[in-house]
Every structure is written in structure tokens, then in C-alpha cells.
Structure 1
Amino acid sequence: MSSIKLTCRGLSVIFTQGITQFLARVDKMSKTSGPQTHQGVPYATLPHLVNAHGQYLFRKDWEPNLKPGQGPRALVFLSHGYKQNCLQYDEFAKQMTSYGLKVFAHDHVGHGQSQGYCADVTSFDVFVEDVIQHVCQVRQQHPGIPVFAVAHSMGALITILAALKRPGLFAGVVCTGAALRINGIPTGWKLLCLKVLAYFFPLGIVPGTGEAGGTPTTRYTEEMDPDLKDPLNHHHPGWRYRITAEGCGAIERVWAGAASFTSPVLLLHGGDDPLAPPAASTEFYQNIGSEDKQIKVYPGLYHEIIFELPEDAAVVRKDIIDWIVHRLPSL
């Protein structure tokens, strides 16, 4: 009789182990068979959000070190530029958290670890809608906490359009190297041709932008350039027809709405930016409706001022943090 009990107990153990292994295998399959990043990583294993078009976007949150029951002083949304990814800003984001700021970001569609064809988007409005969706989600989790944005280049265009579409979305916007105009982009009848080509050949490369795509964005040597070293950035030369046409349309909309832009804003630009002329930031500053507005041009700096040579990048980063903290209640 005891041997029968032992056998039953043994079978029970074997059965339990089998079920456990089966469930573990099912869990592993569910994590590897769903949507994946361009790098082959399942979104089930990554922090992400799903946009209104069903696309999976990689997201990242940087939390400040707070005391129990204490909330962040402010929320800061990071909006990266063309061919970049949000993890590129990891060091700067961590620096901001030391001031009690919660920082959050996502890779725009077609960038980094988000879905979408590499360095492309079907409509610029997708970028804008995703920012509004993400910001609203985080605001709901932290009611009453002001939201700021730090946005670079194309990301600045996206953020400005989001602020125009949703006045009051941001307590303040910081733009670095805003792509308010782009050197080498067609105008006039050439722009019309570009839009036609974008319709028929959306993923084609705009002639002449291959060289622009290789333009240095910092004063680092090519071997040290952080943009070129980041494996999550897109390194193919040139700009695709469709996203270029969409970007041109976005630039037109930003200028058309300049007088209606009333968010507090800090415009920062490299004086020797070879991609986005600093004069455009100056003109935008003069035309916007914001009462709280500042502009600073850094002589000799290129496009990626946050990632410039260490001594210069430190100044830019401090200027950004000081501007945000100055608009918060004292501790």
C-alpha cells in the first residue's frame, strides 16, 4: 500500500513539473512570437506603447530618486531627431533626474526600436499624434505635475506641432537645433516634384542628400561621433522622398502657426549648424506669440549641441536644466 502511495506521489511530482515546464514554454513562446523590433527583440520583453495606428513604439522612463510619498517636480518629454533614438539621450536624462525630474521618451515611428519602415513615416501627423498620446498618458499618472519638452531637430518640429494642436500640453518647450529650415531641401517647383516623387517612390532617396546625410553634426572626429557609433541610429545616407516631403509640409505648418505658438520656449542653436541654419530659430523667435521666450546661439557649435564636445555639451545641458528648474516652485 505504501508503495502505491509513493508511486502516486511520484506521479504527482512528475505531473506538476511537466505542467510547470509546459507553462514556462508557452510563456516563452508568447514573448518571442509577437511583434518584434527591427533588431528582433520581442516587444513583450520591452517597455512600449501602442499608437492609434496599432504600431508598437519603444518607450523609456527615467525616474528620479525620490523619498517615499514624494512625487517628481516636473515631467520632461524627450523628442529625438531624424535617424536618432531615445536611448541616445540616456546620460542627459539621468542628469535631469538628479534635479527631481521624471524623464520619459519613445522612439518615433521608423526609428530606433519602434515599428515602421526605417527612417520613414506615412504622415508627419503620426509623429505628432504619438507625442500627444504618450504625454497625455504620463500626465494622467502624475496629475497636476507640469510637463516640459526637450526636443531636437525633427523632434522639435514634432513637438511644436503638438503644442499648436494641444495648447497647454506643455508648461515649456526647449528646442535644440530646430529643423525650422533645412539646408539642401528643394524649394519652389523642385519641392512640387519632390512631393510627386514621394507619392510614387516614397522610400527613394532625394538626390544630393546623401552628402547631407554625411555632414558632421558635432565637432567630434568621425571615429568619435556619438551619432555614428550608436547601433540603434539609422546610418544609411540621404533622406527618403516621403519623410522629406512630410517634413517640408511640417515646416510650412509650423511657420503658418508661429503667431499661435504661445508656450514658454527656449530656442538653442549651434552657430555653425550645417544642417538647420540658426537664422531660422532667430526668425521663429521673432514671430511666435509666446511671452516667455528666450533664444541662445552657441558660437562654433554644430547641429547636435547636446552631444557636442564635453565642455560645450555641459554648458548646453546646464542651460536646459536651469531653464526648466527656474520655472518650478522652490524646494
Structure 2
Amino acid sequence: MRHRTLTFSASDGLDLFAQCWVPERPSSAVLALVHGIGEHSGRYSSLLRALLPTAYAVWGFDQRGHGRSPGQRGHIRTWSEYRSDLACFLDTIVAHHPNTPIFLFGYSMGAMVVFDYAMRPPSPSSQRPHGLIVVGAPLDPETKGRGLLLTLARLLSRIWPRLPVPLGVPAEAISHDPTVIEALKADPLTHGQATVRWATEFLDTVAWVNAHPETLTIPLLMLHGGKDPLCHVEGVQSWFDRLPLADKTLHIYPGSRHEVHNDTDRAQMEEDLLAWLAQHL
């Protein structure tokens, strides 16, 4: 396995950090990681262990305002920045892996970035992924007790968009595994905040994706924890049931929280992922 780090230019000229793990033999496909809010592309070691022996290359990038990429932590001016950044990232992958199938893997916020890109691509010439894999998709995010805060966020987004607010997500919400929890708490590349503009852009994107399932035309694998306290599994099931896509699969893991790939059901999740990938090559 060869590991490499690099940067690529976003459409607005921002240099974003990326890294890749490539097997020694020719890659049969590429898994393009799109991480969640407050984390970075280096938190997917369990997936690497599962994928690299099967000759899949894995690429990831730190989204703007995250990890080793520049920008205010957890801030965007508009959600379209994420969409354009992903387009540039995929162009970078294609330059290194021409004529190789690319599967998008989005976790949490990254799932919404993946959905948004696939459902309303930046341009007709944008790279079309071979398939989508989403984990912990926030189609029905937990907002209990935050009604006033969200109302204030919409107001402040207009007059003070860069105002940072804590995400309020306990590390214990992502996994039952104490090793995963402690590693997250100790990781200097993670952060626990986002701006009020990010919050309004995120919620608007969630609403749009919920309202337009018919626009998704790419094979889809959804993986979700039955004990996810951040994104209600009932909302995921409801959206999946309304999705008029023939090639769609949903696996719910009863014992897992938000990060299925880092929880007690990870072995079964990896088995399901590898089987689905093999069926779609």
C-alpha cells in the first residue's frame, strides 16, 4: 500500500488537503471519502483495513474549514462551495485513475454533500460517480430543544454569518467503542463548532434533499445505526421508501450509533459494503 498526501485547488482558488491510499496492484475501483462536520479524512482507518486488500484505492480530502485544509472552522458562505469542492476533488482523482470506477462514500454531513452533488451536479460535465455509499445520513437530524437556537441562527446568518456556535455533539453519540471515543476527543484535527451560516445552509440542504428524492439516479447503498441519537433512523427509512430508484439498498445495524464504520457492527457493515461494491463493478 502506498500513501500519498497532496493539495488540489478549489474553484475559488483555495488549496484543499487530500490524501490517498493506493494498493500495489492495479486498482479495480476508487472509494472517495467525504467526511462529516468537525472531522477530517484521516479518521477512516477501519475502512482502509477492509478495502485495501481487495485492490480498492481510497482517496479522501479535508473539506474547507476542516482538518489540514484552510478556512474558518465549520464555516461556508454557501453550500455550493462543498458541491464545487467535491467536483474538483473528483477531477483530481480521475487525473490519477483514468477509466476507473469511482464510488462516493459520504458520512454524516458528508452524506449530504454526496447526495447534493449527485442530485444537482455543478455542471453537465461534472464527474458522475459509479455509485453512492452514505453512512449516518442526516435526513432527519435531531433538533429537539433547539428550536429557538435555530430561529436565532437564521437571523444571525444574515447579519453575522461567521459567528461560531458549539455543535453540542458528545463523542459518545458516535460509537459504543471507548477506543474510538477517546481517539476522537484527543484528535487535534477535529473541532466541535460550526458557524450560524453553516447551520442554515446545512438545514436548507437537508430540506431540499428530502423534498427531491426523484432526482437521484445513481445506485445507492445506505448504512445507518439503529441507535443513532443524532440522525433518526425512522427518517432515513421514510426517505428510502419514497425514493423511486430501482438500484437502492438500506442496511440498518441495530447495535450501532452514528458511526457505523467505527462501532460494534463494523465487521458486518464492512462485509455488506464489500458485497455491494463487488456487485456494482
User: Is this a same-fold pair by TM over 0.5?
Assistant: yes
Partner secondary structure for residue 222 of structure 2: strand
TM-score normalised according to structure 2 size:
0.88
- The whole-number CA distance in structure 2 between the counterparts of 1:153 and 1:303 is 8
User: Could you list the runs of 5+ residues in structure 2 that have no partner in the other structure?
Assistant: none
**2:211 matched to which residue of 1?**
256
Code of the residue aligned with 1:194 in structure 2: it is A
Matched, 1:139 2:94: yes
Structure 1 or 2: more helix by fraction? 1
The answer to whether the 8 Å contact 1:266/1:293 transfers is yes
| Of 271-280 and 142-151, the range deviating more from structure 2 | 142-151
Superposed counterparts of 1:1-331, under 5 Å: 47-66=6-25, 71-166=26-121, 169-184=128-143, 191-205=150-164, 211-213=168-170, 216-221=173-178, 224-234=181-191, 236=192, 239-309=194-264, 312-328=265-281
Give 1:285 deviation, angstroms.
Answer: 1.0
User: Could you list the runs of 5+ residues in structure 1 that have no partner in the other structure?
Assistant: 1-44
| Aligned positions, number | 274
- Identity between Structure 1 and Structure 2 (%): 24
Partner secondary structure for residue 154 of structure 2: helix
Partner secondary structure for residue 88 of structure 1: coil
- The whole-number CA distance in structure 2 between the counterparts of 1:130 and 1:162 is 10
The answer to whether the 8 Å contact 1:65/1:98 transfers is no
Give 1:214 deviation, angstroms.
Answer: 5.4
Code of the residue aligned with 1:218 in structure 2: it is S
**Structure number with higher relative contact order (C-alpha < 8 Å, ≥ 6 residues apart):** 2
- The whole-number CA distance in structure 1 between the counterparts of 2:146 and 2:238 is 19
The answer to whether the 8 Å contact 2:73/2:194 transfers is no
Q: For 1:241-299, what per-residue CA distance to the aligned partner results, in whole angstroms no more than 9, with x for missing partners?
A: 11111101111221232111111111111001010111121122112232110111111
- The whole-number CA distance in structure 2 between the counterparts of 1:245 and 1:185 is 16
TM-score normalised according to structure 1 size:
0.76
Give 1:220 deviation, angstroms.
Answer: 2.8
Partner secondary structure for residue 284 of structure 1: helix
Give 1:199 deviation, angstroms.
Answer: 2.1
- The whole-number CA distance in structure 1 between the counterparts of 2:222 and 2:53 is 23
- The whole-number CA distance in structure 2 between the counterparts of 1:47 and 1:94 is 21
Q: For 1:110-136, what per-residue CA distance to the aligned partner results, in whole angstroms no more than 9, with x for missing partners?
A: 000001101222211111111111112
Partner secondary structure for residue 47 of structure 1: strand
The answer to whether the 8 Å contact 1:306/1:313 transfers is yes
Structure 1 or 2: more strand by fraction? 2
Change (3 A) 1:186 1:127: farther
Higher Rg: 1
Change (3 A) 1:94 1:221: closer
